[in-house]
Amino acid sequence: MTRLPAPPPLDVKNVMWLLAAMVFVVAPHLMRLPSWVGIFFGVVVAWRAWIAWAALRLPPRMLVLLITAAAAVGTFLQYQRITGREAGVTLLVVMASLKVLEMRSQREVVLSIYLGFFLVMTNFLFSQSIPLGLYMLVCVWLFIATLVGFNRVGSSPTILERLRPAGALLLQALPLMAAFFILFPRVQGPLWAVPQDARGASSGLSDSMTPGQFASLIKSDAIAFRVQWHGERPPFPAMYWRGPVMTLFDGRSWHVQRELLAGDGLHYAASGHPVSYSVTVEPSTKNWLFALDVPAAPPKGAYALQDLQLRSYRPLDQRTRFEMTSYLQYRYLQGSGPITLELASRFDDTRNPRTVALGREWARELDHDPRRIIDRAVLFFNREFTYTLEPPLLDPVNPYDDFLFRTKRGFCEHYAGSFALLMRAAGIPARVVTGYQGGEVNPLNNELIVRQADAHAWTEVWIADQGWVRVDPTAVVSPLRVENGVNAALGPIGISSAIMAADKLGIISSMHFAWQYMNSQWDQWVVGYNVDKQRQFFSDMGFRNVDWRTLAFWLMVAIFIVGGAVTLGLLLRERQPRADPSLAAWNRFCAKLAAAGLARAAQEGPLDYLARVKAQRPDWATEAEEITRRYIDARYGSGASREDIQLLATLVRDFRAA
Amino acid sequence: MAASLRQAISDWIFRAAAPETPPVTLIQRRIFILPTRMGYVFAGTVLVLLLSSINYALSLGFVLTFLLMSMAAVAMLHTWRNLAHLKLRPGRCEPVFAGDVAHFGVTVETPSLTRFAIALRRREGDPVYADVGVREPATIWMPVQTQARGLLRCGRLEVFTRYPVGLFHAWSYVEFDLKVIVYPRPDAAAGPPPQNAGSAAEEGIPIPGDDEFNMLRAYRAGDAPKLIAWKALAREQGLLTKEFNATASAELWLDYDEAPGGDVEKRLSALAHWVLKAEDYGQAYGLRIPGTRVPPDRGDAHCRRCLEALALYRLEP
């Protein structure tokens, strides 16, 4: 007695596809997460592959539960919590691998694929670059291909038979996706509290400065911000990007002063032409902005402190663009009350005693004349100091003594810090300004890219009749640093710089700039496409003040048009069965005869028709017979070559039934 | 939910459906499409992805979300297109014995584009899948476990597909006059058929058979080669066929009243067993059941006719 067969187990090939897609999507994470996560994931996936391959039984539920609990505990021990970016992603990777391990039905497979889409999303928390975007597109393609494989019930499709339909689906989805991307009304997030480290907490300047702290920054190729000029670009030596201003000094570190600073506008006397430009700041957890020294007014969404620092109201946790104007020539006299000056003169004379003594000595010697003291200090630095990014370690208690009198090797923060301390000791109010200096110009669009490597620190000193004056002791030690950037001063840093240096012909550098340009466009228009960008896009198109209702309307229109076009394209292709070319030729032949009054009757076969044609028009007999014979051969014979059909078509074309 | 809705739609649309004349083409208005349960889960997934994109301000998250969303929309068209304009014809259904698996066959043909994972299923039953190529019609056999003898009707068929991504279920109904004759299950316990039942001699009609050599007659097209008188051919007497007469004693009537077993089904099972045995012995046999009489004969067609008579005995029309 034959019985109905039991439902088949999951197809091995399909399971392998899913595992491969999972490995693809998790791979970028494994470089960011602790190594045990990678090992765990690898082992579980290999185990599942082995189970599928050897048709073994799945591990018992209890065991899977146990492993789950162990992995959750591991995650907690690693991060001391299970929320936050790294911990959350770790947990998701662990859960996804366990889901894969225990999947037994098709439904669980599909759920695993959906989980895969979340894993794609989590990758974007770390990077939204072009390469990662393309890579993730491939991952989505693999997942859809897996889905296609699972839905080819009853047959085992080839690799191409999975990838092709999946690729077609994605390609045909692109127009509609683009319409949604552009038109879907963006809202200002977040909807719920975002953990502090949810977005890439890129390194950057902090609100304190300790000697040696910049070194890692200066070796980083990461972009801090980009600048587009709305006019002429100022010369490099003038490009001081003003950031956190540090007035408080504890003998070792300089700190931003948090209180008493809320300014009521910017007070300085500007002269010369303003420079206007826009700054696109990379996401960070901080909220300060960088403007050319000195900003004319705080841009929209930001405010200025008394010491001319700009701060954004919201943390800059996404790429944000600010329109700025600066004056490069100014006299910064006002807005510095007695408290500010008092704070800018404080120092602890029990620490760095030799530095303090030197400052005091200069003051005595030079009659407390600020200009002469500054000149003396500049001379001092000019004589025997070396600019290097690998400075020796300094004494933690008296670092500046150690630096000035022993090592004499350092970079901007050493110079700025010790210079400011010397000034204070000499009775001149001084403070450290951190920020960036210079940048790299992309010749393709004249855009300036400022990297972490361009981080810089300089000083401002107070001179009674001139106000705050910028003095950059680093420029004295290493003039190249300020004129040509940090690479010129130090030689190439990092891989890309090394390649650039070896590039004699400039091919690599032009490719490099083209790539930079593409990245910049990508960052601005794709990654940075937010509420403001959307509004800007539409005002560029001539629609002012679009609100979400207008957007929703246009979205509907776009869905209708784009969706309609795709639908028609798909369904029209279906409607046209591939016509047999020999039949088409025959039909044309019949049409010609019909036009001559010899229409073929519906029930008439080709041979009967031929007989009738021959009887009625003996003059056409030869041609008609040739055509009919060839048609019958092609259509009902053992198969006609392309040439045969071509010949038939030619015969029909040349046939004149006049 | 989708399943019950589908059921409701189908009940409403095919209230008293008469079998359709083949072939049936699945034209546009015969095809329905709804998301599958996994389709709804997918929608939920996309919604969560959208909310995350908004919350974390992930532009590429938006790209992913909208790409998946649009992919689903395109997939709906693909699923629909995978089913549209298919041509269906009923196939031949071989009779089976009760308890065996019968197969209803439906031939599916596509005018254009290869169709993948086209499924057919009866109202209660597992779907059977097949790929259908252009100019390569596929016949889908739906297995059904038979229980009792009789006439098993296929009933309304659902033809559906979820290809390519399983987010949508496109389906249509067809109702062909498909049926399988289910013979009674032969009951081996009935023993060999009785050898003397009835009497053909009384009726005085010679029954053609092959038990006893009777005469030679001229060859007629279709005569079995083993019946050809090869010796006569060798003697150059032409192509002759040997003719035999079955002896009256070998003639067999399988009678309902003689079949063992208390109830109708038992008797039918015994008779089915006898029919097969008699056919095995190469005897000519006739069948007598109340209301039907199959005159003695032998051969495959005769055997089928007898079993059919048993299968359909006293069935509601």
Spatial distance between the Cα atoms of B299 and B278, rounded to a whole number of angstroms: 10
Tokens of A613: 């044609």
CB A248 within 8 A of CB A256: yes
Flag whether residue B130 sits within 8 Å of chain A, measured between CB atoms: yes
Which residues, numbered 155 to 184 in chain B, qualify as contacts with chain A under a Cβ-Cβ cut-off of 8 Å?
Answer: 162-166
Comparing alpha-carbon positions, the chain B residue that sits nearest to A85 is B56
3-state secondary structure of A450: strand
B-chain residues near A565 (CB < 8 A): none
Tokens of A417: 């810090």
Tokens 């989805």 correspond to what residue? Answer: A173
Question: How far apart are the CA of B225 and the nearest CA of chain A, in angstroms?
Answer: 35
- How many residues comprise chain A? 658
Asked whether the beta carbons of residue A110 and residue B38 sit closer than 8 angstroms, the reply is yes
Provide the terminal-to-terminal Cα distance of chain B, rounded to the nearest Å: 37
Spatial distance between the Cα atoms of A420 and A227, rounded to a whole number of angstroms: 30
Tokens of A145: 């291909």
**What is the average per-residue pLDDT within A61-84?**
82
**What is the average per-residue pLDDT within B312-317?**
74
Q: How confident is the model at residue A8 (pLDDT cuts 50, 70, 90)?
A: low
Flag whether residue A574 sits within 8 Å of chain B, measured between CB atoms: yes
Spatial distance between the Cα atoms of A525 and B227, rounded to a whole number of angstroms: 91
Which residues, numbered 277 to 316 in chain B, qualify as contacts with chain A under a Cβ-Cβ cut-off of 8 Å?
Answer: none
Flag whether residue A163 sits within 8 Å of chain B, measured between CB atoms: no
Q: Could you tell me which residues come within 8 angstroms of residue A11 by beta carbon, excluding any fewer than 6 positions away?
A: A149, A150, A156
Comparing alpha-carbon positions, the chain B residue that sits nearest to A171 is B71
Q: Spell B290-316 as b/e; 16+ CB within 10 A means b.
A: eebebebbbeeebbbbbbbbbbbbeee
Tens of pLDDT, residue by residue over A596-649, are: 888 888 788 888 898 888 888 888 888 888 888 888 887 777 666 777 888 888
* Greater pLDDT, A317 or A44: A44
Flag whether residue A558 sits within 8 Å of chain B, measured between CB atoms: no
B-chain residues near A153 (CB < 8 A): 117, 119, 127, 129
Provide the terminal-to-terminal Cα distance of chain A, rounded to the nearest Å: 72
Spatial distance between the Cα atoms of A292 and A278, rounded to a whole number of angstroms: 11
- By 3-state DSSP, what share of chain A in percent is helix, strand and coil, each rounded to 5? 55, 15, 30
A-chain residues near B127 (CB < 8 A): 153
Asked whether the beta carbons of residue B60 and residue A530 sit closer than 8 angstroms, the reply is no
Helix (H) or strand (E) holding A338: helix A338-343
Helix axes A507-522, A494-502, angle to 10 degrees: 140
Q: How confident is the model at residue A53 (pLDDT cuts 50, 70, 90)?
A: confident
Tell me the β-bridge partners of B115: B132
Spatial distance between the Cα atoms of A151 and A145, rounded to a whole number of angstroms: 10
Comparing alpha-carbon positions, the chain A residue that sits nearest to B103 is A4
- Helix then strand count (H, E) for chain A reads 24, 17
CB atoms under 10 Å from CB of B22, counted, come to 16
Asked whether the beta carbons of residue A118 and residue B117 sit closer than 8 angstroms, the reply is no
Spatial distance between the Cα atoms of A147 and A337, rounded to a whole number of angstroms: 69
Instruction: Tell me: pLDDT of B210 over 80.
Output: no
CB B22 within 8 A of CB B176: yes
DSSP code for A434: E
Candidate from B54, B128, B134 with C-beta closest to A189: B54
**What is the average per-residue pLDDT within A215-226?**
74
Q: What is the pLDDT of residue B201?
A: 41
| Chain A interface, best mutation among B165, B167, B168, B169, by max A CB count within 10 A | B165
CB atoms under 10 Å from CB of B61, counted, come to 24
Could you give phi then psi for residue B181, rounded to 5 degrees?
-85, 125
Helix (H) or strand (E) holding A486: helix A486-490
Beta strands in A89-204 (DSSP E): none
Q: What is the pLDDT of residue A26?
A: 94
- By 3-state DSSP, what share of chain B in percent is helix, strand and coil, each rounded to 5? 35, 30, 35
Q: What contacts 24+ positions apart, CB below 8 Å, involve B214-222?
A: B214/B243, B214/B244, B214/B245, B215/B242, B215/B243, B216/B240, B216/B241, B216/B242, B216/B243, B217/B241, B217/B243
Does the model's pTM come out above 0.80?
A: no
Q: What is the pLDDT of residue A463?
A: 86
Spatial distance between the Cα atoms of A106 and A465, rounded to a whole number of angstroms: 81
Tokens 């972490």 correspond to what residue? Answer: A452
Size of interface A-B (CB pairs under 8 A): 174
Question: How far apart are the CA of A3 and the nearest CA of chain B, in angstroms?
Answer: 6
Flag whether residue B24 sits within 8 Å of chain A, measured between CB atoms: no
Pairing of strands A254-256, A310-312: unpaired
Flag whether residue B55 sits within 8 Å of chain A, measured between CB atoms: yes
DSSP code for B133: B
Candidate from B67, B100, B101 with C-beta closest to A140: B67
CB B171 within 8 A of CB B13: no
DSSP code for B35: E
A-chain residues near B99 (CB < 8 A): 1
**What is the average per-residue pLDDT within A207-214?**
74
Asked whether the beta carbons of residue B66 and residue A184 sit closer than 8 angstroms, the reply is yes
Tens of pLDDT, residue by residue over A391-446, are: 777 887 888 888 888 888 888 888 889 999 999 999 899 999 988 988 888 777 78
DSSP code for A619: G
Flag whether residue B77 sits within 8 Å of chain A, measured between CB atoms: yes
Spatial distance between the Cα atoms of A320 and B60, rounded to a whole number of angstroms: 16
* Greater pLDDT, A134 or A619: A134
What radius of gyration, in Å, describes the C-alpha atoms of chain A?
Answer: 37
B-chain residues near A191 (CB < 8 A): 51, 54-55
Tokens of A185: 């009304």
B-chain residues near A107 (CB < 8 A): 38
Helix (H) or strand (E) holding A173: helix A159-183
Tell me the β-bridge partners of A208: A255
CB A474 within 8 A of CB A483: no
Enumerate the H helices of chain B as residue ranges.
2-13, 37-56, 59-83, 230-234, 264-281, 300-311
Flag whether residue A329 sits within 8 Å of chain B, measured between CB atoms: no
Q: How confident is the model at residue A1 (pLDDT cuts 50, 70, 90)?
A: very low
Single out the residue of A158, A156, A567, A148 nearest to residue B162, CA to CA.
A148
Single out the residue of A152, A196, A302 nearest to residue A242, CA to CA.
A302
Candidate from B51, B63, B69 with C-beta closest to A191: B51
CB atoms under 10 Å from CB of A104, counted, come to 11
Q: How confident is the model at residue B200 (pLDDT cuts 50, 70, 90)?
A: very low
Which string of DSSP letters, residue by residue, matches B253-299?
EEEGGGS-SSSHHHHHHHHHHHHHHHHHHT--EEEEETTEEEEEE-S
Spatial distance between the Cα atoms of A162 and A562, rounded to a whole number of angstroms: 26
Flag whether residue B54 sits within 8 Å of chain A, measured between CB atoms: yes
Tokens of A235: 């010369």
Helix (H) or strand (E) holding A65: helix A61-79
CB A241 within 8 A of CB A291: yes
Pairing of strands B87-90, B101-109: antiparallel
Asked whether the beta carbons of residue A124 and residue B64 sit closer than 8 angstroms, the reply is yes
Could you tell me the sign of the dihedral formed by the alpha carbons of A582, A584, A586, A592, in that order?
negative
Q: Which residues of A are catalytic?
A: 412, 456, 472
Single out the residue of A476, A433, A575 nearest to residue B110, CA to CA.
A575
Tokens of A306: 């008394």
Candidate from A118, A154, A578 with C-beta closest to B129: A154
Spatial distance between the Cα atoms of B235 and B215, rounded to a whole number of angstroms: 17
Instruction: Kindly report which listed range (A198-202, A535-539, B179-183, B225-229) carries the lowest average pLDDT score.
Output: A198-202
Q: What is the pLDDT of residue A497?
A: 52
Q: How confident is the model at residue A171 (pLDDT cuts 50, 70, 90)?
A: very high
Tokens 């998946």 correspond to what residue? Answer: B68
Helix (H) or strand (E) holding A245: strand A240-249
Conformation bin of residue A265: beta by default, left when phi > 0, alpha when psi is -120 to 50: left
Q: Which of A293-307, A366-380, B195-209 has the highest average model confidence (pLDDT)?
A: A366-380
Single out the residue of A286, A225, A212, A283 nearest to residue A252, CA to CA.
A212
| Chain A interface, best mutation among B66, B94, B109, by max A CB count within 10 A | B66
Candidate from A154, A180, A578 with C-beta closest to B66: A180
**Angle value at C-alpha A334, between A280 and A460, nearest 5 degrees:** 60
Q: What is the pLDDT of residue B207?
A: 47
Comparing alpha-carbon positions, the chain A residue that sits nearest to B47 is A118
Q: How confident is the model at residue B169 (pLDDT cuts 50, 70, 90)?
A: very high
- Alpha-carbon distance values, A183 to A103, A278, A451, A550, B59 (Å): 39, 25, 33, 9, 13
3-state secondary structure of B86: coil
